[in-house]
Amino acid sequence: MDYLKENLNDIEIRIKSACEKAGRSREEVQLIAVSKTVEADVMNASIDAGVTDLGESKVQEIRRKYDDVKDAKWHLIGHLQTNKVKYIIDKVDLIHSVDSLKLAEAISKKAVAHDKNMSILLQVDMAKEASKFGMASEDVTSLIENILMLPNLIIEGLMFIAPYVTDPEEVRIYFKNMKKLFDEIQEKMSHERLKMKHLSMGMTNDFEIAIEEGATLLRVGTGVYGKRNYI
């Protein structure tokens, strides 16, 4: 599967170039290989080629593939239903898509049961797309205050899914506003379980702009594994 090494090399070049352009250190940015619809053998080959972090959108996909995949950090990047938290609480390292107190309460309950501190990101619908999950930016502060009253949850930052556009420059304003919100929370709020170290945004076609605007976690699928028929 030499194409994986080639794809990862191309992505690394793009990441380094964007970091240099933005005056950032390469170490500030982590690639998450989005492996939805990809089978375990290909995921393992990508791990052998240097991938350390895997992103999945569906709980059932994590459950199906988890035992067959080599050691890696797992990220749940898709919408999470409260009744499915129990299936992934012991498997994932970071949940990107928390957008309600109800979901946070469910995660907290299962984290306590597993004696685990669960790291989460809060998903923000900065572009105000009706088809996307995520909370309004003006609701983030109050949700943080409520989540911090729950045990065993660590808020590590924010997540945003940008609209798909032909010209990536069109989404720069959303990335810029996400970084502004991120910085405001960092400056105004303080708590031992509010870490605010990650800004998850940027995918295959726009991650350079996301890096320029402050992203720390990149969710790249097609760029790593090639085009797929998503299920």
Amino acid 231: pLDDT: 42
Measure the CA–CA gap between 72 and 44, rounded to whole angstroms: 9
Q: Is there a contact between 41 and 231 (Cβ–Cβ < 8 Å)? A: no
Mean pLDDT over 213-224 rounds to 98
230 lies in a domain?
no
Q: Which residue type sits at 222? A: T
Residue-wise pLDDT tens digits, 91-128: 999 999 999 999 999 999 999 999 999 999 999 999 88
Domain that holds residue 197: 2-225
Q: Which residue type sits at 156? A: E
Tokens 């996307």 correspond to what residue? 132
> pTM score, two decimals?
0.96
Residue-wise pLDDT tens digits, 163-202: 988 999 999 999 999 999 999 999 999 999 999 999 999 9
Amino acid 127: pLDDT: 87
Tokens 């923000």 correspond to what residue? 124
214 lies in a domain?
yes
Residue-wise pLDDT tens digits, 46-77: 999 999 999 999 999 999 999 999 999 999 99
231 lies in a domain?
no
CATH code (residue 211): 3.20.20.10
153 lies in a domain?
yes
Measure the CA–CA gap between 219 and 49, rounded to whole angstroms: 17
Determine the distance from the C-alpha atom of residue 186 to the mean position of all C-alpha atoms in its chain, rounded to a whole number: 19
Measure the CA–CA gap between 214 and 28, rounded to whole angstroms: 9
Q: Is there a contact between 87 and 63 (Cβ–Cβ < 8 Å)? A: yes
Q: Is 6 exposed, middle or buried (0-12, 13-18, 19+ CB in 10 A)?
A: exposed
Structure tokens at 100: 């309600």
Query: With 90 as the cut, is the pLDDT of residue 230 above it?
Result: no
Q: Is there a contact between 20 and 214 (Cβ–Cβ < 8 Å)? A: no
Total domains in the chain come to: 1
Angle at 138 between CA 137 and CA 139, to 5 degrees: 90
| pLDDT classification of 229: cutoffs 50, 70, 90 | low
